[in-house]
Copies of this chain bind each other. A is one copy, B any other.
Amino acid sequence: MPAGTLVHLGEQMSDEIHISVIDYGIETVTEGEPATVSDIPDQRADGTAVRWIHIAGLHDVAKIAEVGERFGIPALVLEDVLNTSCRPKIEEFVGGIFVLLRSLTDDPENQHVDLQQVAFVLLEDNVLLSFSEVPAAAFSPVRRRVRTGGGGRIRKAGGDYLLWALFDVVVDHYLRVTDAMDEALSNVDDRLQDRPEMVSAADISRLKSEVTALYRHIRPCREIASILNRADSPLIEATTEPYLRDLNDHAIQVVEAAEDLRETAASLRDFYHTAMSNRMNEVMKVLTCFSTIFLPLTFLAGIYGMNFEHMPELKWQGSYAVLWIVFVLTALGMFWLFRKKRWL
């Protein structure tokens, strides 16, 4: 089974936070990994238009608070970033947009799905802060596009486009996870058709819970993408709007995929029940056929086991042979009947 259990990454606590700063523009990209919040340079590198600060590790409250203070992020927003059981949301505040998401990354090697909270804060002047519980592999393609895509769209666009790119990559990973889960479900479906006795009720129940959990994590992204699409914020430029509309479609598609998964899991359970009750039917038929064949035969044998003094058949020469013929004919007749009725 390729799809595995959800593993909450942030639970392996580490007090370290990793900061990476990328300043980029059409021509230039400058990267840095300041050790502390105060080491983040005040000025953007020359010739760069966008600053992307990524902070991995949400356990050290004090440091995150320092980030908040440095960049003027409201306290309530910071609390949501730190509270890893917070519901995904989007919020506009004065001078910024805050997006909180669950990132799901399929990890086929370890047979599980990595779950972590990620947050994006888009500030004025094309500064984007992103937060994750542990370093987020999902963001590397975006980083690569920034580094290598010399004349590409991302280098020409502003922070709002970067927000879109990061959000889109999160939604993309949802699609990979739902695809993997879909494959897992259809594997179990095939096994149910071929060898129903190899599938246990607990397997089905576990898959159903996982699909439900997936759905709960994915569901809010539709609403968030829709709010972002309709947002009338000065931080979002008109050129980015078609991308947000596309993201919205993307989010609708992935939530529909998750809904389809739930339906598939439900019909898998139905099919399991049908398979079980078919097996039961089979068992019952065998029982019935055996009883129905042997009960009358045993009765007949019982009759000639009686000790009455006056039982003429007992003395006849051929009785025993005749009785065997009766036994065999009765059994064959029943067998033929059951075949006709498709019980055997």
A residues near B (Cβ < 8 Å) are: 74, 76, 80, 86-87, 89, 91, 93, 193, 197, 201-202, 204-205, 208-209, 212, 216, 242-243, 245-246, 249, 252-253, 256, 260, 263, 267, 269-281, 283-288, 290-292, 294-299, 301-311, 313-320, 323, 342-343
Contacts and interface: CB of A to CB of B under 8 A. Distances in A.
A309 B314 contact: yes
Contact of A307 (B208, B263, B278, B304): B304
Contacts of A253: 86-87
Contacts of A306: 301, 304-305, 307, 320, 323
A242 B307 contact: no
A185 to B, nearest CB: 11
A298 B291 CA distance: 12
Contacts of A280: 277, 280-281, 284
How many of these chains are in the complex? 5
B292 A295 contact: no
Q: Which 8 A-B pairs have the closest CB atoms?
A: A301-B302, A304-B306, A294-B295, A287-B288, A305-B305, A197-B342, A87-B253, A201-B274
A73 to B, nearest CB: 12
Given A283-B284, A287-B287, A287-B288, 14 more contacts: A87-B249, A87-B252, A204-B274, A216-B256, A277-B277, A284-B284, A286-B288, A291-B291, A291-B295, A301-B302, A301-B306, A302-B302, A302-B305, A308-B323
A91 B243 CA distance: 12
Given A208-B267, A253-B87, A193 B197 contact: no
A74 B302 CA distance: 89
